[in-house]
Amino acid sequence: MLRNSAALALTLAVALPAAAQDLPQAGSQWFADAQAVIEARKAATPNTNRARNVILFVADGLGVGTNYAVRVFDGQQKGLLGEENVLPYEAFPNVALVKTYNINAQTPDSAPTAGALNTGVKQRFNLINLGENAITGDCASEADNRLTTFAEIVEGMGKSVGIVSTARLTHATPAAVYAKTAYRNWEAEAPEGCADIASQMIEAIETGLVDVALGGGRRNFHGAEQMDGDGKGGRRKDGVDLIAAAQDSGVQYAWNTQTAQALKLDGSAPILGLFDASHMKYEHDRPEGEIGLVDMTRMAIETLSTNEEGFYLEIEAGRVDHANHAGNLHRTLTDGVAFAQAVALADELTDDADTLIIVTADHEHAIAFNGYCGRGTPITGLCHDIDNAGVKHSDELVTADDDKPYSVVGYLNGPGAVLKKGEDGVYSGERATLTQAQATDPDFLQEALIPKSSETHSGEDVVAWAKGPWAHLLGGTIEQNVIFHVMHAAATAE
């Protein structure tokens, strides 16, 4: 990383302020790179154009810690040590820390956090786009508490609206674009007097609120007697085939790669893509050629860009969250890398002059990082010791007081807990003596402290990165609902 050449010295002498040139560290590349950052920021001017397009990226469960692991993993996949890597959205000029708690919950749920992003107010645990007087699970409380969403606002301005998710399209984060419900789990059925989330989505497409919807979740749109393309029955107890109804109303439908390739992306008709019965496959498990997050991002932007008035597009990497819940770091990170690639593609396909892109998460997980590991230690593996004479880690593994090595990443709770329940109902156990090959296996579950069948969210802050019109409004430490107001200000700027 250090370059002490005459050419570098000459460059620094020209580029650095006089006071900096005299410092002994002025010949360091670290110093030169930092000065370049400062000069770029001094030269930056705010973009105050009206945002024709707004793209909200949400990596479900990608808090500060999980994002750090994705950064290192992505770098190591590229042949770097990893820590120095920069993810595409990490280069965005505007950054804020985001507080994610819900009205009534220190540890947030994806439904009200996504609702906060789409309505501008915090909400109650497990409900979507209802005001603070609504009660979770109380159907009757929906009527007087429905909030106006960002999608409804921009649709009234003539813009198109799109949703992309690797989760079910009726799952919490994508549902927050169009649904209003007292309980996030009412995906395929709801109490009498309330509409289930799947039927709300089809209504949103048929009424022109949503123009493109791509993701998983076929099973919530048809009954058990109606087979999907994979020969699987659905979960709707009312027997209604919402997919057939949508097609009858002129909606284009796709359920696999072949049917997706046959879609017209010219904006002539709404698009519904349901590429799995439930959630779509993890990136690690996705067969080559099967539709993934990057593909759906391209399809959505190409279609929505045909509207001269612009669009709002929410793109979710939903399975980052699911892999964290499973305590499986490898799949968390491979889905995180795909998310970063989707952001890079969206940035490439749009213009900073008229497109606001915000990249964030709904919440973090109970993920933790051990030390003291040397540079380049495999982020999914065991902790290597620091080489005091070099840069890259030594060949020695760091051991704990039990004389056993340990992984860089663990969870405070989850399926990988060392304690196991015996036949007598008593929990006991000890840490295994792991090898690097075992720890870096894609199916390895990181060790956890507290035994739980599904690892939990945490209340830690997440990050929001932004570029484009009015992105400079994002900064400091903010409440999560402020992100809606940045999008709204950009879309309605005079």
Q: How far is CA 137 from CA 125, 131, 140, 186, 325, in A?
A: 10, 14, 9, 9, 24
Residue 167, classified by CB atoms within 10 Å of its CB into exposed (0-12), middle (13-18) or buried (19+), is buried
Classify residue 307 as left (phi > 0), alpha (psi -120 to 50) or beta.
beta
Half-sphere exposure of 415 (CA within 13 A, CB side): 13
Phi, psi (degrees; rounded to nearest 5) at 7: -65, -40
Residues 6+ apart with CB under 8 A from 271: 211, 212, 213, 214, 251, 252, 253, 254, 263, 265, 299, 303
Annotated catalytic residue, options 5, 110, 394, 454: 110
C-alpha–C-alpha distance, residues 68 and 453, integer Å: 25
C-alpha–C-alpha distance, residues 62 and 332, integer Å: 9
| DSSP-derived secondary structure for 292-325 | -HHHHHHHHHHHHTT-TT-EEEEEEETHHHHHHH
**CB of 343 within 8 A of CB of 192?**
no
Tokens of 35: 């000065």
| DSSP-derived secondary structure for 398-434 | PB-TTS-B-BSEEEEEETTBS-EE-TTS-EE------
Q: Which residue has the tokens 């109380």?
A: 138
C-alpha–C-alpha distance, residues 284 and 362, integer Å: 23
Burial 169-184 (b: 16+ CB within 10 A, else e): bbbbbbbbbbbbbbbb
Kindly give the residue spans of alpha helices, DSSP state H, lying in 182-309. 197-206, 242-248, 257-261, 293-304
Residue from 472, 460, 471 nearest 106 by CA: 460
Distance between alpha carbon 421 and the CA centroid of its chain, in Å?
34
**CB of 238 within 8 A of CB of 186?**
no
Q: Based on the residue annotation, tell me whether 141 is a catalytic residue of this protein.
A: no
C-alpha–C-alpha distance, residues 53 and 351, integer Å: 9
Q: Which residue has the tokens 């690892």?
A: 455
Q: 204-209 — which CB contacts under 8 Å span 24+ positions?
A: 204/151, 204/178, 204/179, 205/246, 205/251, 205/270, 205/272, 206/246, 206/249, 206/251, 206/270, 208/155, 208/270, 209/151, 209/152, 209/155, 209/161, 209/178
State the catalytic residues.
Answer: 110
